[in-house]
Structure 1
Amino acid sequence: MKTVRFVLALLAPLLIAPWQSAKAADVICYNCPPEWADWASMLKAIKADLNYDIPHDNKNSGQALAQILAEKSNPVGDIGYFGVTFGMKAKAQDALEPYKPAKWEQVPTGLKDADGSWTTIHSGTLGLFVNKDALGGKPVPACWKDLLKPDYKGMVGYLDPSSAAVGYVGAVAINLALGGSEANFDPAIGFFKNLRKNDPIVPKQTSYARVVSGELPILLDYDFNAYRAK
């Protein structure tokens, strides 16, 4: 049975190397949206250096994992990019093929699978990605609890924690900041229940363009997306 190679990334995503037998336009990547982590430039560089055409794919981590598992007996994808926890789940279900890329040994032990089933390729710091021009004169939120203020009703967004890795990381970050732990997720659950009163926007895919356009003024996101917008 052909399994799939995947490389994951820290609190963001993982990646997997394509099969050596892959031909141009035949390399399939799950979850490499052009608006996320500068995938657009990366895919252009891969085309220039290796002559591989890799189509954009707008899945999130959960959707990528679901497709990998659905295709487990007859894999279609060559590359997967998703949050580390999703890589762990995929390995637990024997859906990945071990692969150790160049300089794999330089990746810290805690940021890769010992057998090479997944390897982190980058990390990000979670925070608030804010379009100040779209706040209508309101101050930039200074802490998580500020997002609960009525002033920000309809202006706050976060990706679905049950499906998107960045959404899950956001929930964990808020939980820890409010005094929670791995064994106690009540602070985060309470926070998101209260946030519902502010009509948050909860997309499943990356919403970089929506923040830049002002449609979504405040988004829980990684710093690398905010820096790119700045």
Structure 2
Amino acid sequence: MKVTRLVLALLALCVVAPWQPAKAADVICYNCPPEWADWASMLKAIKTDLGYDIPHDNKNSGQALAQILAEKSNPVGDIGYFGVTFGMKAKAQDALDAYKPANWDQVPAGLKDADGYWTTIHSGTLGLFVNKDALGGKPVPACWKDLLKPDYKGMVGYLDPSSAAVGYVGAVAVNLALGGSQSNFDPALAFFKDLRKNEPIVPKQTSYARVVSGEIPILFDYDFNAYRAKYAEKGNFEFVIPCEGSVIFPYVVGLVKNAPDKDKAKKVIDYLLSDKGQAIWTNAYLRPARPIELPDAVKNKFLPDSDYARAKSVNWGDMETAQKAFVDRYLSEVR
């Protein structure tokens, strides 16, 4: 009878207090989504080589920064991954601690904060990620202005430029390609107003799977996502650098201020810039931050250099300064 009562008591305890894992995540990285930039492979490699569990996190740059700021008095995250303009904002809002990782000196000066608050780990070229099978026989668009044609009604997607870094990069790319400047975003705003007639799809999160499924036939996105689909997914996918031109954009990491697992987070950031870490990025069709050549097997899968000549490097510090004014106008005039 005593044994029976003990067993029943233990069963009751299990109902009241369900089993909890013995160990939580080793490191929290905000905005490390598995379908973006092949973070899935990177996090798996970190687990293998460092033994650290890092959960997938499907935020965008703006959402990651917002959460870090909301938790500032009691930090939860350890690492933030951002488009470079949001890395700049994170530093300006005192959301990061300075840290110069191993190989930091090999990252070009324009791709890192001089004090180490953020460091580029890779970059991509913005263009059009196209699911050819989902176009219904229509031609693959070659230019930004092609997207305004009625043929592409309901087929074009771009991430929300008021929240996602890639959304703002798309706006910058369109604006510069169509004759705008840091102080004049009229061309981009006119473009998005015209595009609204074609009923675009405007998600906030990375939408790789929605292009692969055909839900979004044409998406403003980076070369690395399009090449991943082209060479790893079933279907017919293309990457287009629009005829009017585009831009190159860096992605950065920073150590969250007062991160709870700071020492482990530093080792993870070191790993991202290590020889092996940078090689993982190249295998995912990303340009490494350090001056490492793309392997021929990867390089041969890219568009020709003549196409990439249309993609320009810009001063993202200037564009970060211009971002708020653009977002305010976008929200009032377009969305």
TM-score by length of 2: 0.61
Deviation for aligned residue 1:24: 6.8
State the secondary structure of the residue aligned to 1:123.
Answer: strand
2:165 is equivalent to residue 165 of structure 1: yes
Counterpart CA distance in 1 for 2:228 and 2:122 is 15
1:75 maps to 75
What number of residue pairs does the alignment pair up? 208
Contact 1:61 1:83 in 2 (8 A): yes
User: Within 2, Cα distance between the matches of 1:95 and 1:33?
Assistant: 21
3-state SS of paired residue (2:124): coil
Q: Counterpart in 2 of 1:57?
A: 57
CA displacement, residues 14-60 of structure 1 (integer Å, 9 cap, x when unaligned): xxxxxxxxx87231010011000001111100000111100000000
Instruction: Write the mapping of 1:1-230 to structure 2, written as runs, cut at 5 A.
Output: 25-230=25-230
2:43 and 2:52 map into 1 onto residues whose CA distance is 9
Is residue 24–residue 51 contact of structure 1 (8 Å, CA) maintained in 2? no
Hey, which of these two has a bigger chunk of helix by percent?
2
Q: CA RMSD in A?
A: 0.9
Tell me, what secondary structure is at the counterpart of 2:221?
strand
What amino acid sits opposite 1:94 in the alignment? Answer: D
- Aligned mates of 1:164, 1:200 — CA distance in 2: 16
Q: Look at both structures and tell me which one has the larger radius of gyration over its CA atoms.
A: 2
Q: Which amino acid aligns with 2:178?
A: L
Measured after TM superposition, the shift of residue 79 of structure 1 is: 1.0
CA offset at residue 95 of structure 1? 1.1
CA distance in 1, matches of 2:33, 2:95: 22
For residue 73 of structure 1, report the CA deviation from its aligned partner: 2.0
Could you tell me how far 1:115 is from its partner in structure 2? 0.7
State the one-letter code of the partner of 1:47. K
Please state which structure has a larger fraction of its residues in strand.
2
After superposing on structure 2, the runs of 4+ consecutive aligned residues of structure 1 that deviate more than 6 Å are none
Could you give the per-residue CA deviations for residues 64-99 of structure 1, whole angstroms, max 9, x where no partner exists?
010111112221111111111111111111110011
Residues 182-206 of structure 1 show CA distances to partners (whole Å, capped at 9, x for unaligned) of 0000000000000000000000000
Give, as a single letter, the amino acid of the residue that structure 2 aligns with 1:174.
V
Structure 1 regions of 5+ residues with no counterpart?
Answer: 1-22
Q: SS state of the match for residue 81, structure 1?
A: strand
Q: Secondary structure at the match of 1:100?
A: coil
Q: How far apart are the structure 2 equivalents of 1:24 and 1:38?
A: 23
Is the CA contact 1:130–1:217 (under 8 Å) kept in the aligned structure 2?
yes
Say whether the 8 Å CA contact 1:24–1:52 is kept in structure 2: no
Deviations 1:90-132 (A, max 9, x none): 1111110011111000101111001100000000000000000
Indicate the residue corresponding to 2:328 in structure 1. Answer: none
Partners of 1:182 and 1:88 lie apart in 2 by 17
Q: In structure 2, the residue corresponding to 1:89 is in which secondary structure?
A: helix
| Preserved CA contact (<8 Å) 1:147 1:156 | yes
